[in-house]
Structure 1
Amino acid sequence: MTNEPNLLPHSPRAAWPALAAAAVTVVLWASAFVSIRSAGDAYSPGALALGRLLAGSLALGCVLLIRREGLPPRAAWPGIAVSGLLWFGVYMVVLNWGEQQVDAGTAAMVVNIGPILIALLGARLLGEGLPPRLVAGMAVSFAGAVVVGLSMSGEGGSSTLGVVLCLVAAVGYAAGVVAQKPALAHASALQVTTFGCLVGTVACLPFAGQLVGQASDAPLSATLNMVYLGVFPTALAFTTWAYALARTTAGRMGATTYAAPALVVLMSWLALDEVPAPLTLAGGALCLAGVAVSRSRARTAAAGTGGEAGAEAASRRGEPSR
């Protein structure tokens, strides 16, 4: 069994693997937008979530067996169980359902409350700090997400139920991330992701009948998109997310996901030929600018505390070491 240490990087060079992993996650989660658009026409929310999780669990299980990592330690299971139920299970089903009730812009605005909740819950439950740059960056990014949402609103009907469902999805996402963070101190990213995905799969088993019935009528493209969602935006992206989360704070990782709306706009432009409006592009630019601010670090603090002592002090404050 190989457990990844829950250590924050002590140098810019050490931070690059985590940053690259976070980038892979954001790109793949953004790409899920196109696949969900296709698969969602043939599969109901619960069936799509279960099919995605089954594909993800199979892929993750094969990798886990090849790497011979085995079961996570007992101390990791509470976080794995909570994140698996809330993030892999509730979040995926409720988000699929909510996006059928509201237009794309409204869904984007409501769901993007999630990173803010992650930062607040991380500060309250995990003892993480709320550095001014993180708060400022998240404010800029959220403003960008609102601009993107407003520019996309009106593409369908909205309902109170849909807004509530998207809000539940945001809360489930945030709670799942905060629950996952302590588990990564005891188990590897692969273990936490694999067994979290399995917990979510079990939670979605009541939709098995729907999945079997709809799979026989669904076009091959929809089923392939569902499998893609399971293998890449779920199995791979959730693992790279956990790898990066183990090496930084939950708040900073949540802020990083604000790059997704900008990438979704770009991918929809390229893959779906949906030409974005100038307001949408402006909102995407704000999202990226906010991520850049939230990921930046104050040089003055780094100069005031040197080497390992500075890293240790930063870790106690809940900030990535400089």
Structure 2
Amino acid sequence: MAAASPAVLPEAGGREASTAMIWSALAVVYVVWGSTYLGIRVVVEAEIPPMLGMSARFLAAGVLLAAFLALKSGWRRLRITRQEALGAAVVGLLLLAFGNGAVAIAEQTVPSGLAALLVAAIPLWVMLLRVGGGDRPRALTWVGVLIGFAGVALLALSGGNTSAKPLSVAILVVGTICWATGSRFSPRLGLPRDPLVAALYEMLFGGTAMVLIGVLRGEPARLHLDRIDTSGWIALAYLIVFGSLLAYSAYSYLLANAPISLISTYAYVNPAVAVLLGWLILDEHVTWQILFGGTVIILGVAVVVSAERRRRTP
């Protein structure tokens, strides 16, 4: 798997293996996560309630990952402390229940490509969180933040000139803030040192929270298994295996082993993949507002990441 734990890497050539693992994990996040927006859209269009559908995605992936790790290394590998469990629960809530859950709810009316473009603003929220923590970014970083949020405002106010409802767009923006918060503070929460173990507990805690949120939203009454189209089941299976087992595990590995400025570059690639697949497979209309607003967001993120890299260069 692209997200193998550093604990299982061979001693020889460890530095090269670590570098290779980081770029392999980043490649998975680049491409696979871009396709998950399409998968989520197909799931919700197939009459699978969003929170229950995503809870099934992460609970199934968590159980499968736990079984894989136990068979490979023994059940002792899955043991964590109370502090590690608490940290995993917090990250699972912020990234999955509130972050990914918001995407699923929003995509009931928001096209998958537009959703990916709004999510691309996450590095901008991360930067604001850093400022709130006392960091003092360069002037060029602030220019990038302003450019990026101008693009977010354009997309949010116009809805990309699509059928997206304002409330759905607002929910999606709140979800991006939750995801940024979880990504920013996850290294400080005392997570399990094994990224795969951390990922599986985050998925189990986040998936369980999604079930509770879904119940509160009345989703069980709207769940009719006999009405779900085959495409919905296929999309859900894809999200479990590739979106969660592979890509989320890779993201957890990156959070533990790579600088956030490098991780944030996935925001350049995911929207392009999502817009292309949404247009190609779901025949989603790509408006000039989506293209222009998305370009502005990605430009802003590029300026921020570039400025932060220069700042960290000796």
Decide: shared fold, TM above 0.5.
yes
Give the deviation of 1:43 after TM superposition. 1.0
What TM-score does the superposition give when structure 2 sets the normalisation length? Answer: 0.74
Preserved contact between residue 57 and residue 235 of structure 1 (Cα < 8 Å): yes
Question: Kindly tell me: are residues 248 and 102 of structure 1, through their superposed partners in 2, closer, same or farther at Cα, counting changes over 3 Å?
Answer: same
Q: Whole-Å Cα distance in 2 between the matches of residues 165 and 298 of structure 1?
A: 29
Preserved contact between residue 105 and residue 148 of structure 1 (Cα < 8 Å): no
Structure 2 equivalent of residue 187 of structure 1:
193
Match of 1:156 among 147, 159, 163: 163
- Percent sequence identity over aligned pairs: 26
Structure 1 equivalent of residue 11 of structure 2:
none
Q: Whole-Å Cα distance in 1 between the matches of residues 62 and 207 of structure 2?
A: 8
Find the residue that maps to 2:107 and give its secondary structure.
helix
Find the residue that maps to 2:177 and give its secondary structure.
helix
Structure 1 residues 242-251 or 144-153, which shifts more? 144-153
Find the residue that maps to 1:100 and give its secondary structure.
coil
The answer to whether 1:118 aligns with 2:126 is yes
Question: Kindly tell me: are residues 118 and 237 of structure 1, through their superposed partners in 2, closer, same or farther at Cα, counting changes over 3 Å?
Answer: same
Question: Kindly tell me: are residues 298 and 237 of structure 1, through their superposed partners in 2, closer, same or farther at Cα, counting changes over 3 Å?
Answer: closer
Question: Kindly tell me: are residues 131 and 258 of structure 1, through their superposed partners in 2, closer, same or farther at Cα, counting changes over 3 Å?
Answer: farther
**Cα RMSD for the two superposed structures:** 3.9
1:46 corresponds to which letter in structure 2? M
Structure 2 equivalent of residue 310 of structure 1:
none
2:65 corresponds to which letter in structure 1? L
Question: Kindly tell me: are residues 277 and 117 of structure 1, through their superposed partners in 2, closer, same or farther at Cα, counting changes over 3 Å?
Answer: closer
Residues 283-315 of structure 1: CA deviation (Å, up to 9, x unaligned): 6556665565555589988xxxxxxxxxxxxxx
Give the deviation of 1:275 after TM superposition. 6.8
Structure 2 equivalent of residue 270 of structure 1:
280
Structure 1 equivalent of residue 246 of structure 2:
236
Give the deviation of 1:196 after TM superposition. 0.3
Preserved contact between residue 38 and residue 112 of structure 2 (Cα < 8 Å): no
Preserved contact between residue 112 and residue 278 of structure 2 (Cα < 8 Å): no
The answer to whether 1:82 aligns with 2:86 is no
- What does 1:33-48 correspond to in 2, within 5 Å? 33-41=37-45, 42-48=47-53
Give the deviation of 1:261 after TM superposition. 1.4
Q: Whole-Å Cα distance in 1 between the matches of residues 196 and 252 of structure 2?
A: 8
Match of 1:227 among 230, 234, 237: 237
Question: Kindly tell me: are residues 162 and 248 of structure 1, through their superposed partners in 2, closer, same or farther at Cα, counting changes over 3 Å?
Answer: same
Preserved contact between residue 256 and residue 291 of structure 1 (Cα < 8 Å): no
Q: Whole-Å Cα distance in 2 between the matches of residues 297 and 37 of structure 1?
A: 34
Q: Whole-Å Cα distance in 2 between the matches of residues 103 and 20 of structure 1?
A: 29
1:248 corresponds to which letter in structure 2? A
Residues 133-152 of structure 1: CA deviation (Å, up to 9, x unaligned): 76555555555666777887
2:281 corresponds to which letter in structure 1? A
Give the deviation of 1:45 after TM superposition. 1.7
Preserved contact between residue 4 and residue 185 of structure 1 (Cα < 8 Å): no
What TM-score does the superposition give when structure 1 sets the normalisation length? Answer: 0.73
Give the deviation of 1:156 after TM superposition. 0.7
Preserved contact between residue 4 and residue 184 of structure 1 (Cα < 8 Å): no
Structure 2 equivalent of residue 93 of structure 1:
101
- What does 1:5-154 correspond to in 2, within 5 Å? 15-41=19-45, 42-68=47-73, 69-100=77-108, 107=115, 111-122=119-130, 124-125=132-133, 130=137, 153-154=160-161
Match of 2:211 among 171, 192, 205: 205
Structure 1 residues 218-227 or 95-104, which shifts more? 95-104
Aligned residue-pair number? 296
Q: Whole-Å Cα distance in 1 between the matches of residues 6 and 211 of structure 2?
A: 30
